[in-house]
Structure 1
Amino acid sequence: IAPARARDSGNTMFSKEFDGGALMLTGANSAAGLRSMPIRYLILDEVDGYPLSVDNEGDPVMIAEKRTSTFVQRKIFKLSTPTHRDTSRIAKDFVLGDQRYYNVPCDECGTLQPIVWSQIKWPKGAPEKAVFVCAHCGHEHAEHRKTDLMCEERGACWVPTSETSRPNLRSYHISALYSPWLTWGECAREFLNAKDDPALLQPFVNTVLGEPWEDRTGEVVDPDSLYAKREDYPLAPEQAVVLTAGIDVQNDRLELEVVGWGRSEESWHIDYQVILGDPSSFEVWDQLDEYLAKRWPHPGYKEGIRITAACIDTGGGHTQAVYNYVRPREGRRIWGIKGQAGWRAVWPRRPSKNNKGQINLYIVGVDAAKDIITARFKKSGPEATGAGATHFHKSLDQEYFDQLTAERKVIKYFKGFKRIEWQKSEKARNEALDCRVYAYAALQGLISAGINLNREVDILEERLEKLKIAESSLEEKTPRISSFTFPRRSQIAQPQRKQSRTVMNPYMQGDWR
């Protein structure tokens, strides 16, 4: 490869020429780059992350594949971490091929088999002792045997499990269970931390097991069942260390919800308010300002706990009014957001400045947030604890839960590709769900800024423990009066007085001269 000294050296950021060929690099978001020149060997990396359409020219994968049509002996290599089963490109291509899995021989019986999650076992409470158990004889393989198990010299090999739908189409699956850099014990611990929360379990399924995520959150959630799980707890509860607010802007009012967050994103409803008035007037925003400064009694905070961050939707008919309110208050973590459907992270890596208000506008992945929130509804009620548990206060009415469950997941087709969207009926109201989504987005904004909920809980618990110790020691030092009867005046001992003696002043005597 020539030195990168001149523009025509053949060595640039996106082009590397060498004897016998050239390496061309481009992004999946550039149609011009994808169709720039004929390609014999095509490598498509992380295809599940590609957009459905690029520059209004169609599917980027198909555009790139067309570049290989001039070569008879072409090769196309696609690889990716799978995402959602219904929309995953790589999962769809995998089942079209012969579906090969890497099989390893058992040390005891010699049977070839893939290393799958169902055969990873560990003693209760000791995930670090996880082993791979043979599905045929039950022999346990410890972690240190992994490298030898995968050696081809011992018989390990790729085994096809299906007939390919097209000639010369091979498909391979490999998971992190084969990785020399990740132990089975670490996988087991990660699973235990994620198993109760879909928001944590999906990355485990996608990235560790290499399997597409099968989403069950689209199942209808009964609002009556959530209403029946309301609880009586103090506002704010001791376990909540961070409060966030989500604010939805309507034509004649502001609606907002305050949510408390604890360890592993366990949440508690704190308050729901409707501020009536025209959002184009100052009075409405003055009331919001006053409310966001409110404090709730909390045993861990002397002056009470207040809202740490808030997200306000800018996508309605009062965008400029929201911009004007947010701009001078961004330092208080009052953020302007805009919801965007489709697959994207709940909180962006960086805000957008491309808006008329010149604020830090955060594009929020509302579909991902709704997936997480609605999945956690199944873990609600007084008995629910741990990661993602959701608690609703007894003060909430039926209308709140009707709005919270007003949307359903539907599958739509966009230029031949499946796309999952959240939709509500035309007459249904969903302000409560929107407010909850925005409050969750505010939490993710705080986490992105460096706040660690678990660490904050540890600090609070340590503070509360010190307060309890101080109170108990103070009680021990203070004498207690169990029974006391005031004595009569005659019974009170009087102090004894010394008897006085009269002394004659010598100067007053007659013979003093």
Structure 2
Amino acid sequence: MCIHLTNAERLAMETSAEAWDPPPAVDYLSWAKRNIVFSERESPERGPYNEDRFPLNSEILKALGPDDPCRIVTFAKSAQLGGTVLANIFTLGSLDMDPGDFLYVHPTDDNARRWSKMKLMPMLKGTTAIARLFPTKSRDGGDSVLYKERIDGRGALQISGANSPASLSQVTMKRQCQDDLAKWEMNAGGDPETQADSRSAAHMFAKIFKISTPLIWPGCRITKSFRAGSQEVPELPCPHCQHYQVLTWDNMLANLDEAKPEAACFSCVSCGGLIEEHHRPWMLKRHRFVAGNPKAMRYHRSFWWWAAYSVLQSWEGIARAWLTAKGDPAREQTFMNDMAGLAYEAAGEAVAWEVLRDRAAQSHYRRGQVPAGGLVITIGVDCQKDYVQWQVVAWGREVRRWVVERGVFPGHISEPSCQALLDDLVKQLWINSAGRGLGCDLLAIDGNAWTEDVWGWAKKHPAHRVIMVRGANTETAPLIARVKKEVNAKTGKKLKYSRRFFNFGASVLKMGLYRLLNKTDPLERGYVGFPVGLEDDYFQQLTSERRKAKKNKQGFEVWTWIKDATQANEDLDTMNQAETAAIKLGVRSFTDTHWDRLEAEREAPIKGLQLDLEDLMNAAAPPASEAPTGAADELAANAVRDDAPEDEPPPPAKPPAPAPAARPSLRDLGRRLNRR
């Protein structure tokens, strides 16, 4: 029998050589070329990573490498610009080339879990260099949704949510990525960005990658970080005179012909020549980065570019996105963030209330009337301790709105007398310019306080007529989102009102309203009209809040809406609730065809009776049930398309009914009197 013995001296020498051998150079760009292969699901750019297609990325990847002395790298950008790809290369490349502990922070734990399952796991399995380091069958705790450890124990990836201070404590990380930074909000421990930064304080040569699409300024984290850094932007040469310049959204907007969005282009700031999309590949190959704050490059390099630089986005697409968003503050914010890569400048203060009052005094319609163009009616209701306040708003084309009426019902929402008045409000009709009676298409009532009492009244009405809402004052909240299913604290049963209970982005709606209040042209998109006859306190309440910075309990600055302690704000709240009802109905996305149908049904010229003024004013409005129902049924279907209770199906479509016997409009009557 032959026994093989290990040469102890040789083994010691090999181990020593491996330990003393200097590690290979950390080159993220080369690593990406060797290892990153895009699938059709991950990117429209299928195949290996191609530097020629994404030339601007290379400078960021170099800044993230150890050869660059900077400690922080910030990337403020448009959406869908390859930021996630850069974060993935930085994360996986670090774990492969220079093992160590890595922290990846998302806005919330839910975001972190979703990213781990839907993004990280496919990359770990599909990247050959990484798959061998992170086996997915480990049962020793080294492989979980939020924690991934190398098989040799030389490094690990911890995935956290910025909303959890516990996950940002008691760890020391050499490298980290702070993703979607603009969406981070204060947590129970204070400022999550400060908490995350401190996790790398012990490492002299740490790297922190901050990446996000901007949101709202002032207060946007990624914009603040970009301005604190080197402020590097890409300059491209003019194809005509070779003068280097930054392609800006303002330049494209100045050259935009709304009738020909396919001709979107830039103009050279030097020679005036048109820079067209077919010039982009040639210019990108010759790009250069210029720093607006070069003294910061030693410690903090920050970069910015937007969709016009990306080969994945056409300039025509950018132009069409703007034309769709123009005039609608909520959509304009989305455009400025996602397309232009810029923070949306918030309208923190409304126009002076006296200006609105004087404008209303010159209005062409009176309080209680629906002016021409008002085709959809929504109502916002706010519940207080001893009264219920409401506001009626009419909506028309181009997201224009007109205040119709406002009022107050005495009593608490739980009182039968108050509920009876609200029942009548749901049934009430308002006369429009054609003399027809328009009823409420959807009422949104505040369910944040006295929720059970509000539900006790709301459930008496169908879901396509009444919904419950509550404001979410965080600036990252969507315009409207269903409240997560809630349970009774005592019984543990799911509460039925979750089916028609919605959160709305109160902060975004307030900023949008305050911006729109500055518009004075009644034909301008988003115009807000007021009738003659509203009291001064209506305009005071509508403009009662200001967006300001204040210190929270931990001493950090946060931006929030502050109300004058001596001024009520219910009319501002009911305006937001009425707008939420309009959003639920889909008013923002109605096509011209849909508006045409509503106009034909609700503002059809009236033929028939010729009444004198007194008869007209005393005549009863035609019942809502007699009105044509084609477009109205679509409104009802929109109101319940995803929240109808199981025992309450959406209203069936009805065939259009013949127009009822009609009366002359006030406008027609005035013309007849003049002819006499």
| TM-score (normalizing by structure 2) | 0.62
- Is the CA contact 2:350–2:517 (under 8 Å) kept in the aligned structure 1? no
Count how many residue pairs are aligned between Structure 1 and Structure 2: 460
- Name the residue aligned to 1:13: 145
Distance 1:462 1:386 in 2: 22
1:97-176 pair list within 5 angstroms: 97-120=229-252, 121-123=255-257, 125-151=259-285, 155-165=286-296, 167-176=298-307
SS for the counterpart of 1:354 is: coil
Structure 1 contact 347–362 (Cα < 8 Å) conserved: no
Question: Is 1:418 equivalent to 2:551 in the alignment?
Answer: no
1:184 aligns with 2:323: no
User: Residues 468 and 430 from structure 1, CA distance in 2 versus in 1: closer, same or farther, beyond 3 angstroms?
Assistant: closer
Cα distance in 2 for residues equivalent to 1:143 and 1:309: 45
The residue number in structure 2 matching 1:308 is 441
For the 8 Å contact 1:366–1:437, the answer to whether it is kept is yes
Q: Does 1:71 align with 2:209?
A: no
Q: Secondary structure at the match of 1:164?
A: helix
Shift of 1:97: 1.4
TM-aligned CA deviation for residue 224 of structure 1? 4.2
State the secondary structure of the residue aligned to 1:109. Answer: coil
Matches within 5 A, 1:401-480: 401-414=539-552, 415-447=554-586, 452=590, 456-461=594-599
Question: In structure 2, what is the Cα distance between the partners aligned to 1:347 and 1:172?
Answer: 30
* Paired residue secondary structure (1:102): strand
Deviations for 1:349-384, whole angstroms, at most 9, x for unmatched residues? 22134365932243333222221122211124xx41
Determine if the alignment matches structure 1 residue 247 to structure 2 residue 378.
no
Describe the SS at the equivalent of 1:101: strand
Is 1:232 the counterpart of 2:372? The answer is no
Secondary structure at 1:170 match in 2 = strand
Q: Deviations over 1:183-206 (max 9, x none)?
A: 223323333443433333222222
Would the alpha carbon gap of residues 68 and 85 (structure 1) be closer, same or farther in structure 2, given more than 3 Å must change? Answer: same
In the alignment, is the contact (CA less than 8 A) between 1:346 and 1:369 conserved in 2? no
**Contact 2:547 2:560 survives alignment (8 Å):** yes
Quick one: structure 1 residues 181 and 300, their matched pair in 2 at CA, closer, same or farther if it must change by over 3 Å?
farther
Q: Does structure 1 residue 218 correspond to structure 2 residue 356? A: no
In the superposition, relative to structure 1, how do residues 199 and 221 fare at CA in structure 2: closer, same or farther (>3 Å)?
farther
Q: Is the 8 A contact 1:342 1:419 kept in 2?
A: no
Structure 1 SS opposite 2:331? helix
Answer yes or no: is the 8 Å Cα contact 1:259–1:269 preserved in 2: yes
SS of the residue 2:441 aligns to = strand
What is the identity, as a one-letter code, of the residue corresponding to 1:439? A
SS of the residue 2:407 aligns to = strand
Shift of 1:309: 1.8
Given candidates 329, 335, 339, the residue that maps to 2:467 is 335
Rounded to whole Å, the distance in 2 between the matches of 1:454 and 1:197 is 16
Between the aligned partners of 1:28 and 1:15, the Cα distance in structure 2 is 16
Within the candidate set 394, 398, 413, 1:264 is matched to 398
How far 1:45 moved relative to its partner? 0.8
Larger radius of gyration: 1
CA distance in 1, matches of 2:404, 2:548: 31
In the aligned structure 2, how far is the partner of 1:119 from the partner of 1:390? 29
Match of 1:393 among 528, 531, 536: 531
**What is the distance in 2 between the residues matched to 1:17 and 1:203?**
38
Q: Distance in 1 between matches of 2:412 and 2:207?
A: 62
CA contact (8 A) 1:262 1:453 kept: no
Q: CA deviation at 1:254?
A: 1.8
AA aligned to 2:236 is V
User: Can you list the C-alpha shifts for 1:409-438, whole angstroms capped at 9, x where unaligned?
Assistant: 332123444333333322222222221121
State the shift of 1:259 in Å: 0.7
Counterpart selection for 2:161 from 27, 30, 35:
27
Cα gap change, 1:326/1:352 in structure 2, threshold over 3 Å: closer, same or farther?
A: farther
Deviates more, 1:167-176 or 1:415-424: 415-424
Per the TM alignment, residue 209 of structure 1 is displaced from its structure 2 partner at its CA by 1.8
Distance in 1 (CA, whole Å) between partners of 2:350 and 2:470 is 26
Higher helix share: 2
Whole-angstrom distance in 2 between the partners of 1:281 and 1:216: 39
Displacement of 1:396 after TM fit? 2.0
1:273 is displaced (CA, Å) by 2.6
TM superposition shift of 1:50: 0.5
Conservation of the 8 A alpha-carbon contact between 1:258 and 1:270: yes
How far apart, in 2, do the equivalents of 1:223 and 1:169 lie?
A: 47
Deviation of residue 298 (structure 1)? 5.4
Aligned pairs for 1:35-50 within 5 A: 35=169, 37-50=171-184
Q: Which moved more, 1:42-51 or 1:245-254?
A: 245-254
Tell me if 1:376 matches 2:480: no
CA separation of 1:470 and 1:182: change in aligned 2, threshold 3 A: farther
The separation in 1 between residues aligned to 2:533 and 2:590, in whole angstroms, is 30
Q: CA separation in 2, counterparts of 1:72 and 1:374?
A: 47
- The one-letter amino acid of 1:97's match is G
Q: Which amino acid aligns with 2:379?
A: A
1:77 Cα deviation (Å)? 0.4
TM-score by length of 1: 0.80
The CA deviation at 1:78 is 0.3
C-alpha deviation, 1:389, in angstroms: 0.8
Secondary structure (helix, strand or coil) at the match of 2:300 reads coil
**Structure 2 Cα separation of the partners of residues 126 and 469 of structure 1:** 39
Letter in 2 for 1:277: G
SS of residue matched to 2:541 = helix
Residue type at the aligned position of 2:426: L
Q: CA RMSD in A?
A: 3.1
